[in-house]
Structure 1
Amino acid sequence: MFGNLAFIHRAYCLTYNTPSEMLMPLRNPIYMKDTSTNEVVFQAEVTGRNADLRRLQNLSPDYHIVDGEHHKKYIIQRKDRIAWYRRGNTKADREAILSGLADYHAKIRCDICCISAPTDLWYLKRTVSGTKIVNRYGLTLMLAAMHRLSELARYDPQGLATHLSGKENWLLTEFIELAPSQFVDELACEMTGLEFRLPGVRS
């Protein structure tokens, strides 16, 4: 579970010496309408050191590269698309298409995760050795991890003490300190349908 949470993923990799990070940073994640086919598809940019074909080989099989290396930037898209409505469609048709978009979005949210921060920090899970992709939302993973820590504290305090005095201490500390704000932020987004950000701090 910890390996699938973006806000502590690097701490997880350092704790267990995993060979590479599972999460790939994304920029400008959007839903784009292809006017030639009248379909909507999820698209994002991969930049920086991750804009490398060797790293992109580990993309999830649900995604592919559609445009390559312009100013050290690659465009990736999800392979499946959804048909969009046209002029003349009935209200029922539009509602059905919007319902399809909601289902499409629900699938993508298991692949894409974010870190609550003053700026956009989006990540795509990719297949790498040493970390297993858990096909669940971030909120579910955080709640499950919190529940497990609660179980240890109540029923196996010696086991928890062993973790806290071992190499996992830093990872657990990071999770305990950062999870509450991340959890509340994602929960607020779920309840309102809006995006929230931590306020920036001016020096």
Structure 2
Amino acid sequence: MAITHTHKGKNLKLHKAFKSPSWGMDTVLVTDTWDYVSLWLKRNKKGDAQFYWEQAKSFYEATKILPKTSAPLTAYYCFLNASKCLLTVKGIAFDKRHGVSGWSKLGRVSLSKEIVKLQNKGVLAELCRYYGETINKNTYSIKDIFFNLPFIHRAYHLTFTSEQPLFLPISNPEYVHAPGSKKSWFTATLDQHYVHGQTASLLPPTFEKDAGDNTCYRVRRKKRFNWTRGAVNVESNLANLTNYHQDTRKHVFYIHGPMRLWYLKRNKRNLTGFIERHSVPLIFCAMHRLSELARYTPNYLVKHFDSQHNWLLSEFIQTSPLQFIDEISSEITGQEFMVPGRANR
């Protein structure tokens, strides 16, 4: 039986922060993270970053009171300034251009005809590089971006009913080791509703079923990292874990909310529209294109709300600010945030 790693008396589970998680710290319980992050920036003397954060908050507050045909404009500028805050905190220089452009293909109104193009310079470019991603002026449709966002995945499949699910719900995601061994790995339990004869073929190539556990369908990463027991090895162990964690988080995503909801992104075999990027840059891309429509061709944006995908689009505009800011807040501080009264998963 694998043994869960601990640090500061706490089990080491999958962390919301992608790059620099503060292992072993208590979860911060807040209704929203704006004031906490602002105080954190002030305490750590991040004046320039704090300016961007306050700008982001102002745009966020404006977004909540605007109609859905106008909200994308202020939501995007919320994302832009929050991203600048993160990059400034991390000491990453950035070209102040947005780093993304877009256009609509001719024809009937469709999410598949709304295109975004990543640029090699700009805020988005550095945001992608922060998450370890390369930029090659990639182009994506908003439809494909929505397909790759777990927090609107249910709405996506209620809109496009013929397409296969991309995300597999998991629980108890943690880092473990074998008794008497320094070899360690990531493991989690797959939701039983997704267990069937073809389950193994859905797992990413770097994951496998743990054949040693017959109590559930347990998945684990094939790759291992070293964790040597003993107080003198704490910093080395945490460095190994953090590097391994970054690779793991390329496959595992979460939904912001009162519960810890984690999802494994299935392999891309036989799938169209699969994008190998973190949720944060993808949210940034999609909202940028919608903000262009809200600013320059609002009548055309209205046509989207008169189509079959109107609810999906509304869900994205309403929920993406919550998801984006929660993820950015964890990246800035290295801490995890949950709404008070949360349940574990």
What TM-score do the two structures reach when normalised by structure 1? 0.84
Alpha carbon RMSD of aligned pairs, Å? Answer: 2.4
Q: Which amino acid aligns with 1:164?
A: F
- How do 1:140-155 and structure 2 match up within 5 A? 140-155=281-296
Is residue 125–residue 133 contact of structure 1 (8 Å, CA) maintained in 2? no
Q: Name the residue aligned to 1:127.
A: 267
> Alignment identity in percent?
39
Q: 1:88 to 1:175 in 2, by over 3 A?
A: closer
Q: Name the residue aligned to 1:67.
A: 211
Larger radius of gyration: 2
Is residue 206–residue 222 contact of structure 2 (8 Å, CA) maintained in 1? yes
Q: Name the residue aligned to 1:186.
A: 327
Q: How many residue pairs were aligned? A: 197
1:79 aligns with 2:231: no
**Other structure's SS at 1:110 match:** coil
Q: Name the residue aligned to 1:22.
A: 166
Is residue 293–residue 300 contact of structure 2 (8 Å, CA) maintained in 1? yes
1:52 aligns with 2:193: no
1:157 aligns with 2:301: no
Is residue 68–residue 74 contact of structure 1 (8 Å, CA) maintained in 2? no
Q: Distance in 1 between matches of 2:201 and 2:288?
A: 35
Q: Name the residue aligned to 2:147.
A: 3
Q: 1:95 to 1:132 in 2, by over 3 A?
A: farther
Kindly state the Cα deviation for residue 96 of structure 1 after the two structures are TM-superposed: 4.8
Listed as ranges, the gaps of 5+ residues in structure 1 are none
**Other structure's SS at 1:124 match:** strand
Q: 1:31 to 1:150 in 2, by over 3 A?
A: same
Kindly state the Cα deviation for residue 14 of structure 1 after the two structures are TM-superposed: 2.1
Q: Distance in 1 between matches of 2:315 and 2:272?
A: 19
Kindly state the Cα deviation for residue 87 of structure 1 after the two structures are TM-superposed: 4.1
Compare 128-137 and 105-114 and name the one that shifted more: 128-137
Structure 1 segments of 4 or more deviating over 6 A?
Answer: none
Is residue 192–residue 217 contact of structure 2 (8 Å, CA) maintained in 1? no
Q: Deviations over 1:53-80 (max 9, x none)?
A: 3233211111000137735x21110111
Q: Name the residue aligned to 1:114.
A: 254
Q: Distance in 2 between matches of 1:95 and 1:69?
A: 31
Q: Distance in 2 between matches of 1:81 and 1:145?
A: 35
Q: Distance in 2 between matches of 1:31 and 1:153?
A: 44
Q: Name the residue aligned to 1:98.
A: 238
1:33 aligns with 2:177: yes
Kindly state the Cα deviation for residue 164 of structure 1 after the two structures are TM-superposed: 1.9
Q: 1:15 to 1:130 in 2, by over 3 A?
A: farther
**Other structure's SS at 2:301 match:** helix
Q: Distance in 2 between matches of 1:54 and 1:48?
A: 13
Is residue 116–residue 198 contact of structure 1 (8 Å, CA) maintained in 2? no
Kindly state the Cα deviation for residue 102 of structure 1 after the two structures are TM-superposed: 1.9
Is residue 63–residue 79 contact of structure 1 (8 Å, CA) maintained in 2? yes
Q: Distance in 1 between matches of 2:294 and 2:212?
A: 50
Q: Which amino acid aligns with 1:76?
A: V
Q: 1:47 to 1:68 in 2, by over 3 A?
A: farther
Q: Deviations over 1:83-127 (max 9, x none)?
A: 2234496x6xx6455333222211211211111121111100003
